[in-house]
């Protein structure tokens, strides 16, 4: 076996799985599974199938997900840099599917970094509604913010907060919440051998406490009739069914929505919670507190599900869907999160948002500097874009964001990105940001340049090279001259900005994102 499994883990799994253990163990002899998920904010699944450089095999529990051969190096293709797909372990695609996100929802992804499931949620929102994506780790929110940008998400706010502080700011606000909980990561051993080396029995106890706090805070964030999906990539019942049973015990106004077992889910294991509660020598070694859960609460966990590595083509996951039994609330019409339509308005010029943007001086008030700086953005938009994107422009320093929330709503929260970063006003000039380009479709830009994939131009651009490009290749809208910012595309999908002047394309692809 390639992976060295921790001895205590082996003993636990033997005790839990009994006759099934050998089959489970033999799954470690097979190579790990690799997957990609098509980013439908940029390309439809059918369009992607038509241009896919990889052989694609459908993942049963995610209609935008496909198994790929890892040796095809999906991270080394210009389509990856165009944000056409996210590389994701196949079973990790299941939780966001179970959240059942619809355009217009208010979604909170509480433990989101690096953003695999948030990019999936954003694609499901299709630019309508709100995604607040959060992680407690400052370092990991950098990758989260980058992924929101690469995948062209226009309606997300990235926070670096504790769940408790978000709950204080947004009580009962979100109708869908994902908790992809920090866990002991037993399902990651085949994907990442370091996880196996780092696993210790006491990590289960540590994670259990964190999970319990996060779950109970999520209840205070959910609107009546809303849905919480709780998931882990571990097998330990302490972190899975026992958490859910305890939550149901304390929150009788919630119930489980059963998972669709036809997609590969095996039923959860309430019997293992009973084993924990009745005392089991092997399980007690973790030091995790023995849950005091009634038999009724344990029975109510029926409908949770597990993806097992010896039963499906995936590394393994636990998923529980919790529904609040209350009457679902109508999302407030006047709330910016609900009225924001991040797609382009028809007719150009000013934003068509209902309501007025909020400046630093309060709703509707704007200082002269701010008005001037936002004016630069509006001027850039009318010079460069077919129509100005809707959304409330917010200024933070010289940076302009189109936000699905107001400044007041974000007040006091550690905000990594208050919205879609469109650019910066510096020395009186507006410089468009890379995330603006990454979320644009070519028809939204008045100047565009298609770079050739087979001739290697796209890769040269991604490496940061300056390219010689004749004026005749810049596709300009009627009346527009080639000089200026140009949206660079590959096969019609945006890669970033270039600035064209006299036959030379200055490369505006961010240095930190370059192809190496």
Does position 110 interact with ligand SAM (CB under 6 A)? The reply is yes
Say whether 338 counts as a known binding-site residue: no
**Which residue, 135 or 246, is less far from ligand SAM as judged by CB?**
135
**Which residue, 117 or 447, is less far from ligand SAM as judged by CB?**
117
- Residue 161 beta carbon to ligand SAM: minimum distance, rounded to whole angstroms: 8
Does position 374 interact with ligand SAM (CB under 6 A)? The reply is no
- Residue 106 beta carbon to ligand SAM: minimum distance, rounded to whole angstroms: 18
**Which residue, 140 or 353, is less far from ligand SAM as judged by CB?**
140
CA pseudo-torsion sign 431, 437, 443, 448: positive
- Residue 354 beta carbon to ligand SAM: minimum distance, rounded to whole angstroms: 32
Does position 191 interact with ligand SAM (CB under 6 A)? The reply is no
Rounded to a whole number of angstroms, the CA Rg of the chain reads: 24
Q: Point out the catalytic residue in the list 62, 207, 233, 304.
A: 233
Identify the burial level of 435 via C-beta atoms within 10 angstroms of its C-beta, where 0-12 means exposed, 13-18 middle and 19 or more buried: buried
Question: Under rule CB under 6 A, how many of the chain's residues touch ligand SAM?
Answer: 19
Instruction: Report the residue from 127, 182, 237, 404 that binds ligand SAM according to the rule CB under 6 A.
Output: 182
Say whether 127 counts as a known binding-site residue: no
Tell me which residue of 400, 380, 403 sits closest to 391, measured CA to CA.
403
Say whether 114 counts as a known binding-site residue: yes
233 is an active site residue: yes
Q: Mind spelling out the 3-state secondary structure of 247-308?
A: HHHHCCCEEECCCCHHHCCEECCHHHHHHHHCCCHHHHCCCCCCCCCCHHHHHHCECEEEEC
Does position 297 interact with ligand SAM (CB under 6 A)? The reply is no
Structure tokens at 486: 């140009």
Instruction: Report the residue from 152, 163, 393, 435 that binds ligand SAM according to the rule CB under 6 A.
Output: 163
Residues 6+ apart with CB under 8 A from 113: 135, 137, 140, 141, 143, 144
Say whether 116 counts as a known binding-site residue: yes
Note the Cα 429 to chain centre separation in Å: 32
Instruction: Report the residue from 20, 56, 72, 137 that binds ligand SAM according to the rule CB under 6 A.
Output: 137
Does position 270 interact with ligand SAM (CB under 6 A)? The reply is no
Say whether 109 counts as a known binding-site residue: no
- Residue 498 beta carbon to ligand SAM: minimum distance, rounded to whole angstroms: 31
Contact present, 28 and 3 (Cβ < 8 Å)? yes
- Residue 32 beta carbon to ligand SAM: minimum distance, rounded to whole angstroms: 17
- Residue 283 beta carbon to ligand SAM: minimum distance, rounded to whole angstroms: 22
Q: Which stretch binds ligand SAM (CB under 6 A): 57-65, 105-113, 193-201, 243-251?
A: 105-113
- Residue 378 beta carbon to ligand SAM: minimum distance, rounded to whole angstroms: 35
Q: Which stretch binds ligand SAM (CB under 6 A): 107-115, 294-302, 307-315, 475-483?
A: 107-115
Say whether 218 counts as a known binding-site residue: no
DSSP class of residue 331 equals P
Bridge-partner residues for 488, per DSSP? 449, 496
Does position 117 interact with ligand SAM (CB under 6 A)? The reply is yes
Bridge-partner residues for 318, per DSSP? 232, 306
Instruction: Report the residue from 82, 93, 113, 307 that binds ligand SAM according to the rule CB under 6 A.
Output: 113
Bridge-partner residues for 36, per DSSP? 66, 87
**Helices (H) and strands (E) in the chain — how many of each?**
19, 26
**Which residue, 157 or 394, is less far from ligand SAM as judged by CB?**
157
**Which residue, 215 or 390, is less far from ligand SAM as judged by CB?**
215
Long-range contacts made by residues 496-503, C-beta under 8 angstroms, separation at least 24? 496/434, 496/437, 496/438, 496/461, 497/432, 497/434, 497/437, 498/449, 498/461, 498/467, 500/447, 500/449, 500/469, 500/471, 500/474, 503/468, 503/469, 503/470, 503/471
Does position 314 interact with ligand SAM (CB under 6 A)? The reply is no
* Beta strands per DSSP E along 338-419: 358-359, 362-363, 392-396, 399-403, 415-417
In terms of residues, how long is the chain?
Answer: 516
Which residues in 445-504 contact ligand SAM (CB under 6 A)?
A: none
Helix (H, G, I), strand (E, B) or coil at 414: coil
- Tokens 């038509």 correspond to 50
**Which residue, 196 or 339, is less far from ligand SAM as judged by CB?**
196
Does position 111 interact with ligand SAM (CB under 6 A)? The reply is yes
Structure tokens at 359: 């400046």
Interface residues toward ligand SAM, by CB under 6 A:
92, 110-117, 135-137, 140, 162-163, 180, 182, 210, 214
Catalytically annotated residues: 233
> Annotated binding residues for S-adenosyl-L-methionine, as ranges?
111-117, 135, 180
């Amino acid at each position: 076996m390639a992976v060295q499994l921790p001895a205590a883990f082996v003993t636990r799994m033997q005790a839990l799985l009994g006759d099934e253990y050998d089959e489970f163990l033999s799954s470690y002899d097979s190579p790990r599974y690799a997957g990609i998920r098509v980013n439908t904010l940029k390309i439809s699944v059918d369009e992607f199938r038509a241009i896919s450089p990889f052989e694609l095999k459908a993942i049963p529990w995610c209609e935008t997900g496909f198994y790929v051969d890892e040796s095809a190096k999906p991270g080394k293709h210009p389509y990856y840099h165009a944000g056409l797909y996210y590389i994701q372990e196949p079973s990790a695609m299941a939780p966001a599917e179970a959240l059942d996100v619809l355009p217009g929802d208010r979604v909170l992804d509480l433990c989101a970094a690096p953003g695999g499931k948030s990019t999936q949620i954003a694609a499901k929102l299709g630019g309508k509604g709100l995604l607040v994506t959060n992680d407690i780790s400052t370092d990991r929110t950098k990758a989260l913010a980058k992924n929101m940008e690469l995948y062209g998400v226009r309606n997300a706010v990235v926070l670096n907060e504790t769940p408790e502080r978000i709950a204080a700011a947004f009580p009962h606000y979100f109708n869908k919440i994902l908790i992809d909980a920090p866990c002991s990561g037993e399902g990651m051993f085949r994907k990442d051998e370091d996880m196996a080396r780092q696993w210790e029995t006491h990590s289960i106890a540590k994670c259990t406490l964190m999970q319990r706090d996060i779950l109970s805070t999520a209840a205070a964030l959910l609107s009546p009739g809303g849905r919480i999906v709780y998931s882990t990539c571990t097998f330990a019942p302490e972190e899975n069914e026992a958490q859910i049973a305890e939550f149901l015990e304390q929150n009788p106004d919630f119930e489980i929505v059963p998972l669709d077992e036809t997609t590969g889910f095996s039923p959860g294991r309430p019997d293992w919670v009973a084993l924990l509660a009745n005392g089991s020598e092997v399980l007690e070694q973790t030091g995790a507190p023995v849950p005091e859960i009634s038999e009724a609460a344990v029975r109510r966990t029926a409908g949770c599900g597990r993806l097992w590595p010896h039963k499906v083509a995936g590394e393994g996951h636990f998923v529980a869907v919790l529904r609040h039994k209350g009457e679902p609330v109508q999302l407030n019409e006047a709330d910016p999160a609900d009225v924001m339509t991040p797609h382009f308005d028809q007719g150009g010029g000013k934003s068509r948002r209902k309501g007025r943007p909020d400046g630093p001086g309060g709703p509707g008030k704007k200082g002269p500097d701010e008005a001037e700086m936002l004016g630069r953005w509006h001027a850039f938009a009318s010079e460069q874009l077919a129509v100005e994107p809707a959304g409330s422009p917010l200024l933070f320093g010289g940076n302009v964001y189109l936000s699905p929330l107001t400044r007041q709503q974000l007040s006091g929260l550690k905000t990594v990105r208050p919205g879609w970063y469109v650019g910066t006003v510096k020395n009186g000039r507006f410089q468009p940001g890379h995330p603006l380009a990454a979320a644009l479709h070519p028809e939204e830009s008045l100047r565009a340049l298609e770079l050739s994939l087979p001739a290697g131009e796209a890769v040269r651009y991604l490496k940061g090279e300056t390219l010689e490009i004749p004026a005749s290749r810049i596709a300009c809208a009627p009346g527009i001259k080639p000089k200026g910012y140009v949206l660079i595309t590959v096969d019609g999908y945006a890669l970033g900005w270039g600035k064209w002047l006299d036959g030379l394309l200055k490369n505006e692809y961010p240095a930190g994102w370059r192809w190496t």
